[in-house]
C-alpha cells in the first residue's frame, strides 16, 4: 500500500531570482507529477521539513514543475540557500484546484497580490493553452513596490496576447516607476464585463484577498463567481492532520480554492 507520507525525489535544475525575496525553483521529479492548476504540493527539504506551495508552471508540462517561493520561514530560508543539483522531495498534488470548466465561455478577471501571482501564473498558462475557450482574460496585479514584482520578464510577453489585458499597480513607487501607484483595489473599477456572468479569481495575502473580495462584491460581482485561494497551515494535505480546518471544510482537501459563496458565512475566514 502506498505510503502517503513519502515524497518523490526531485532535482533542482535551475533557480530564477524573481525579487530580492522571491525565487522560482525549476524542478525535475524522478517520476512525473501530474497536477491540475490550483492544486498544491508539499515541498520537502529532507531532515528539515516541508511546506505547501502551489506550482506556478504550466500544468500541461508533466515532467517538470516550477515553484515560486518567498523567503518567509524556516523551510523557505533553507530552500533559498539551495543550489541547482540539490535534491528536494515533493508530495502531492493535493486539493481540488481551479474549476477551469466553469471558466469556459466566460470573461475572467484575475487579481493577484505579491507572490500570489505564482498560482495564478499556472492558471494563466493553462488558459493560454486554449484561449479560444474563454471570452477574455484580464489580469490585475498589485505588488508592494516595483522591485517586488514577480515574473518581470514574462509580463511584457503576456501583454502581447490576444484577448488578454494587464493592469499593474504598486503600493509605493520609486524613481524608476512610471506606472500606477495605489493598492490593487484602486484598479478594480470600470469593468467592461457582464458582472452577472464574469468570473473573478483572486490570490494574494489575506488582507489583500479580504479587501479585493469586498471591492468586487461592491462592483457587482456575484459571490458564487468569486474564486479565492485560501491559506492555512496545510501539513498532511489529506484532511487528516487537522490543522487547516475552516469551518466545516479542510482547506487542503476541500480547497484550497473556494468560492466566496461557500465560505462567506464562516467565521474568521480572513485571519
Site residues for another protein per CB under 8 A: 1-7, 9, 44-51, 72-76, 89, 94, 206, 231-233, 235-236, 238-243, 245, 247-248, 253, 267-268, 271
Closest to another protein by CB, 20 or 242? 242
Closest to another protein by CB, 95 or 146? 95
Closest to another protein by CB, 6 or 176? 6
Distances (CA, A) of 87 to 27, 47, 68, 228: 9, 12, 16, 32
CB of 265 to another protein, least distance (A): 11
For residues 181 and 168, give the distance between their C-alpha atoms in angstroms, rounded to a whole number.
9
DSSP state of 147: G
Percentage helix, strand, coil for the chain under 3-state DSSP, each rounded to 5: 25, 30, 45
Element of type H or E holding 15: strand 8-19
CB of 127 to another protein, least distance (A): 27
Cell numbers of 69, please?
A: 517561493
CB of 248 to another protein, least distance (A): 4
CB of 242 to another protein, least distance (A): 3
Count CB-CB contacts under 10 A for residue 7: 18
Go through the chain and tell me how many residues it has: 271
CB of 11 to another protein, least distance (A): 12
Contacts of 49 (CB under 8 A, 6+ apart): 74, 75
Count CB-CB contacts under 10 A for residue 130: 11
Distances (CA, A) of 245 to 123, 124, 253, 260, 265: 25, 28, 10, 16, 15
**Cβ atoms 154, 56 nearer than 8 A:** no
CB of 136 to another protein, least distance (A): 34
Closest to another protein by CB, 3 or 196? 3
Closest to another protein by CB, 24 or 168? 24
Strands 245-246 and 249-250: antiparallel
Closest to another protein by CB, 28 or 135? 28
Closest to another protein by CB, 6 or 157? 6
CB of 219 to another protein, least distance (A): 27
Amino acid at each position: 500500500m502506498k505510503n502517503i507520507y513519502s515524497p518523490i525525489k526531485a532535482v533542482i535544475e535551475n533557480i530564477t531570482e524573481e525579487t530580492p525575496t522571491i525565487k522560482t525553483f525549476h524542478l525535475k521529479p524522478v517520476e512525473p507529477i501530474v497536477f491540475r492548476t490550483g492544486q498544491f504540493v508539499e515541498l520537502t527539504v529532507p531532515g528539515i521539513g516541508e511546506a505547501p506551495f502551489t506550482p506556478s508552471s504550466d500544468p500541461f508540462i508533466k515532467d517538470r514543475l516550477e515553484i515560486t517561493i518567498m523567503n518567509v520561514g524556516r523551510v523557505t530560508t533553507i530552500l533559498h540557500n539551495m543550489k541547482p543539483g540539490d535534491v528536494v522531495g515533493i508530495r502531492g498534488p493535493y486539493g481540488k484546484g481551479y474549476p477551469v470548466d466553469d471558466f469556459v465561455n466566460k470573461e475572467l478577471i484575475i487579481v493577484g497580490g505579491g507572490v500570489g501571482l505564482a498560482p495564478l501564473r499556472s492558471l494563466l498558462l493553462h488558459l493560454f493553452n486554449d484561449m479560444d475557450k474563454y471570452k477574455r482574460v484580464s489580469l490585475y496585479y498589485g505588488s508592494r513596490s516595483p522591485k517586488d514584482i514577480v515574473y518581470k520578464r514574462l509580463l511584457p510577453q503576456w501583454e502581447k496576447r490576444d484577448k488578454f489585458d494587464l493592469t499593474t499597480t504598486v503600493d509605493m513607487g520609486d524613481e524608476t516607476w512610471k506606472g500606477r501607484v495605489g493598492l490593487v483595489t484602486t484598479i478594480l473599477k470600470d469593468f467592461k464585463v457582464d458582472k452577472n456572468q464574469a468570473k473573478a479569481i483572486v490570490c494574494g495575502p489575506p488582507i489583500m484577498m479580504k479587501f479585493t473580495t469586498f471591492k468586487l462584491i461592491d462592483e457587482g460581482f456575484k459571490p458564487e463567481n468569486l474564486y479565492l485561494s485560501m491559506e492555512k497551515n496545510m501539513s498532511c494535505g489529506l484532511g487528516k492532520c487537522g490543522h487547516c480546518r475552516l469551518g466545516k471544510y479542510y482547506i487542503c482537501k476541500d480547497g484550497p480554492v473556494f468560492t466566496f459563496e461557500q465560505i462567506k458565512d464562516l467565521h474568521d475566514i480572513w485571519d
